[in-house]
Amino acid sequence: MKEIIAMHGWAGDSNQWSNWEQIFKCYEWEWRNYERGYTALSPHIPKWNHNSNQVKLKRVAICHSLGSHLIDKQVLYSATHVVLINSFSRFIPSGKENRPIKLALNRMMDAINTPNEASMLRKFHVKAYKPNHIDADSIESNLINISDLGRVKLKKDLKLLIDSDSLPIGLNTLANVLIVNSEEDNILANQTKAKLAEDLRKHLKFLPKIINLQDEGHSITKIKNIKKIKHWLEFDHAKNMV
């Protein structure tokens, strides 16, 4: 049995997984989306369909960015495989890179539920997709449909991102972990990426695998790269002991 639960990141929604879901379902994967509910989409917390006693079971948690900290902890703990897409343990670097990042995050926090909110979110989405294109209509749709409860979650989750300083709670030490880094990511600092890899090596029984994508930004859009991740999930059998 092969099943996936996918968790989007801050200010995103489950629609970002439409291409992923289509590709994986063609190869007989069961796919379910976690929905935080920032916009008009109803919040949804999926659960695994199959129990851990089944032979050749793969339960995969795919998390984008802050999604690894937002996903249900029991879902994460029960995952046999975890894919961390441009994710982090500590978002704000501990070195001299941190001051401009802190200032930018605080400006984003202050903009929520003000006349500057739409402009801030629009800039964030464009920056997250660079160097790739994001459809302007989809951005505007998300900006218009943010709910009052969604704004509360935006603030709460941005604070979680700012305060993050360790691996997501619930990550099983026996999980097989794939780190996916985009080399043209305009959101994560290089020190942040290195910190995640370091923390995972200390935490996991098996060394994490790292894939670096040269032609992607913070959000993964290219079909060929989605298929690279699928290939790892289907054919990664060797485990390197720490």
For 32-89, the pLDDT digits (tens) are 999 999 988 999 999 999 776 666 789 999 999 999 999 999 999 999 999 999 999 9
In degrees and rounded to multiples of 5, residue 12 shows phi and psi of -100, -175
Q: Look up the CATH number of the domain holding residue 96.
A: 3.40.50.1820
Output the pLDDT for position 242.
Answer: 35
Domain range holding 76? Answer: 1-242
**Mean pLDDT along residues 82-101:** 92
> What pLDDT score was predicted for residue 241?
33
Q: What's the pLDDT score for residue 237? A: 47
- 73, 170 in Cβ contact below 8 A? yes
- Identify the burial level of 51 via C-beta atoms within 10 angstroms of its C-beta, where 0-12 means exposed, 13-18 middle and 19 or more buried: exposed
pTM of structure: 0.94
CA distance 183 to 212: 6
Q: What is the pLDDT of residue 143?
A: 65
Please say whether the dihedral angle defined by the alpha carbons of residues 204, 14, 86 and 164, taken in this order, is positive or negative: negative
Q: The tokens 């989750």 sit on which residue?
A: 157
Structure confidence at residue 204 (pLDDT): 98
Give the pLDDT confidence score for residue 144 in this predicted structure.
67
Q: Count how many domains the chain has.
A: 1
Percent of the chain, pLDDT > 90? 83
Residues, the chain: 242
Q: What is the pLDDT of residues 178-221, one digit of tens each?
A: 999 999 999 999 999 999 999 999 999 999 999 999 999 999 99
CB contact set of 70 (below 8 Å; sequence gap of 6+)? 7, 9, 34, 36, 157, 160
Q: What is the DSSP letter of 84?
A: E
- 110-114, 138-142, 210-214: which range is least confident on average? 138-142
> Quick check: helix, strand or coil at residue 242?
coil
Which is it for the CA torsion 184, 187, 190, 195, positive or negative?
Answer: negative
Question: Would you give the distance in Å from CA 101 to the centre of its chain?
Answer: 19
